[in-house]
Amino acid sequence: MTLPSGHPQPKCPRHVAIIMDGNGRWAEARGLPRSAGHKAGIDALRRAVRAASAAGVEVLSLYSFSTENWRRPKAEVAFLLSLLRRFIRQDVADLHAEGVRIRVIGARDDLEPSLVRLLAEAEQLTKANTGLTLVIAFNYGSQQELARAARKLAEQVAAGTLAPQDIDMARLGAALDTSDLPMVDLLIRTGGEQRISNFLLWQCAYAEFVFLNLFWPDFDAAAFDKALADFAGRDRRFGGLKARSA
């Protein structure tokens, strides 16, 4: 792809996913409760949305609460749930004004009906926006998502509306929560750990990984740009031999 000037298009990932890790350690290092780290994490989340929009990224997926996070102490779980409510209530109007489309992925069954309604309203309000798509992964687990998709297809087979031989990658991809989204190009994880933690396993099949040695509340536009620069320097071959343009 080239720009009108004839220069090659700088390689910008279409879909960036972030594992926002290190809130607790950020707080503990300051002698603060873990909740203060999560609160500061919301400010970092806002910075990430702004930086992704400015860079021309199409989709930003944020791992906000995993299916495994229910194992945390009750008070911390309650705090994260209330933080999501507060974030949606406080920010949805601004995000809408900025043209951001909100999508929420993950299982809704274990969430309170009032929270499910709030999330659905935010999605509904912003669904026609054409700016950044902000994917909030909440009560999300990739293996659970794949199992849900397999069940959906099995139900169609049982109902006689789908033949087993018609199940292929496209069908399975279309049964996932992310059916309308491109594959992940760049996965960023803060907090110093180098693992994927059940986040977008299918969607990260050919993602480039960038691990940042900073706690999530310290994430800013400079860190985002550094990750993008790192990505731009990668040679993506998608299993082939020659580099493709992004």
- Least Å distance, CB 59 to ligand FPP, is 16
Under rule CB under 6 A, which residues in 163-192 are in contact with ligand FPP?
191
Cα four-point dihedral sign 125, 80, 183, 235: positive
E-state strands within 35-132: 59-66, 101-105
Nearest distance, CB of residue 35 and ligand FPP, angstroms: 10
For position 69 contacting ligand FPP by CB under 6 A, the verdict is yes
CB nearer to ligand FPP: pick between 136 and 149: 136
The answer to whether 47 and 60 are in contact (CB under 8 A) is no
Provide the 8-state DSSP code for 183: P
Rounded to a whole number of angstroms, the minimum distance from the CB of residue 3 to ligand FPP is 35
Type and span of the H or E element at 213: none
21 classed as catalytic: yes
Place of tokens 């996965």: 187
Q: Which residue is nearest to ligand FPP (CB)?
A: 24
What SS3 class is residue 65?
strand
Separation CA 231–CA 16 (nearest Å): 10
Please report, as residue ranges, which positions from 14 to 43 form the binding site for ligand FPP (by CB under 6 A). 20-25, 38, 41-42
227, burial (CB in 10 Å: exposed 0-12, middle 13-18, buried 19+):
buried
Q: Kindly indicate which of the ranges 5-13, 76-84, 119-127, 224-232 contains the residues binding ligand FPP, using the contact rule CB under 6 A.
A: 76-84
Residue count, binding to ligand FPP (CB under 6 A): 20
Interface with ligand FPP (CB under 6 A): 20-25, 38, 41-42, 45, 64-65, 69, 80, 83-84, 87, 136, 191, 216
- Name the residues annotated as catalytic: 21, 69
